[in-house]
Amino acid sequence: MARYEATHPDIEVELVAIEGGNALTERLRLTPASEMPDVILGTNMTVRLNADSGRFVPISACVNPGSDPLATLLPVIESTYSVADTRWAAPFNVSTPVLVYDKGRWRAAGLDPDRPPRDLVEWEATIRHLKDSGATTTGIVLYDRSASWLITGTAAREDELLAEPQNGHDAVQVDEVRLAQPGVVATLERFRELKADGYVHWMGWDTGPNGADDLVQLIHPIEPTGMTLHTSAALGAFVNLLDQGGPLGAIEIGVAPFPAPGAGSLVGGGAWWLVDSGDPGRVRKAWELVEWLVSPEQIAEFVAKTGYAPTTTAAALMPVVRQRWDEYPFLQVSYDQLAASTGAPVDAGLQLGPANDVDREVELAAAFTIDAGNDPATELDARSEAIEELLNAYSSALDG
């Protein structure tokens, strides 16, 4: 920010940490215009909520077509931050779920760590082999958050819509939720059986592990596991740990795409939102800052330092990014997944107003199936009904 201020002496940037998610949008609704921030960094979970709130200016209304810093934005990221083809936010820190493992343990099990599983059948076989070989005590570590990706990630890769119309990406609100898609049911059934047979290390329900707890399980001295599903956002910190040595530095890290048919990945992370202060001049200055922050040069520098995925092909081609990927090739996995996505609503996943509450229902569907052993179709149908109730309440609040 200091560099930006140096080149824009008429603008002073103040960074303030405030609550996120639903609480942030509610706080903005109650804040007088004179006290509102100009820009917020919001997660991909708040897209529909923010767009419906009337408190933000869509990014697409501010962009000069001849100088759009996001002109080469990856289609699936564009879709994630758009409602009815209107781009509402400027993506910044982007991540994906990835498979993380210790290559050394895979070799000890007789597996080729450079040939990770590509679909559910290979994934199950790998999980079972790791434990059966004695190289690990379990094949995979899961918790409620990572297990929920077995639902949303599978649906995206199997081209299965979880809500109609269009997973919530249209202008109209969703009127039907159907989590119990064939591919999702099959995946949860496999992992329910794996858990019952002792191949899954379940870490917990409510909030899951703190930070790197599931990664640490990969090198546990007594009960090591074979792999974990983790956000690629953590890979930059992992690189720092590798450089510094210590327990996690002992891992020869392997990173692979989510194992499922097809290609692509869901988008995680955050984006910059322009708050509608009612003052066009103030909004314009805020856009000047955001435009700078999401330029290919700034995104490339941010990616090289953190391990997040580039948002645009222009940023991905920057020398600083390519140099970082040459040094740590696994940092490129998340970008390659995103670049392989078409950007269709099925690829971009659910986009619903009460997203945090919806996400919790999806987590519980996975947890009650895998850990508690409930029938997957029955559990998914029950959670679908619960989500529809949340959506009805959300729509009533909008109308009221």
* Same domain, yes or no: 10 and 148: no
* Residue 225, both tokens: 């596991």
Q: Are residues 169 and 112 part of one domain?
A: yes
Phi and psi at residue 269, in whole multiples of 5°?
110, -145
Mean pLDDT score across all residues of the chain: 90
Three-state SS string across 272-286, please? EEEECCCCHHHHHHH
Range of the domain at 249: 97-264+354-399
**85 plus 119 within the same structural domain:** no
Q: Which of 91, 1, 97, 111 is nearest to 43 (CA)?
A: 91
Work out the pLDDT band at 236, boundaries 50, 70, 90.
confident
Residues 367 and 325 in one domain: no
Separation of alpha carbons 116 and 132, rounded Å: 17
Domain's final residue, options 318, 345, 372? 345
If asked whether residues 113 and 214 sit together in one domain, one would say: yes
Identify whether residues 237 and 362 lie together within a single domain. yes
Task: Report the CATH number at residue 86.
Answer: 3.40.190.10
Residue 239 pLDDT level (bands cut at 50, 70, 90): confident
Instruction: Write the Ramachandran bin of 281: left for phi over 0, alpha for psi from -120 to 50, otherwise beta.
Output: alpha
Do 242 and 377 sit in the same domain of this protein? yes
Task: Judge if 214 and 127 occupy the same domain.
Answer: yes
125 plus 246 within the same structural domain: yes
Quote the number of domains for the chain: 2
pLDDT, tens only, 154-183: 999 999 999 999 999 998 889 899 999 999
Whether the pLDDT of residue 208 is over 80: the answer is no
Indicate if 106 and 16 belong to the same structural domain.
Answer: no
Q: Are residues 334 and 380 in the same domain?
A: no
Mean pLDDT along residues 242-256: 75
User: For residue 221, which phi and psi values (nearest 5 degrees)?
Assistant: -70, -25
Regarding whether 249 and 394 lie in a shared domain, the answer is: yes
Q: Taking residues 61-66, report their average pLDDT.
A: 86
Chain segment 184-197, per-residue pLDDT in tens:
999 999 999 999 99
CB-CB contact of 215 with 241 (8 Å)? no
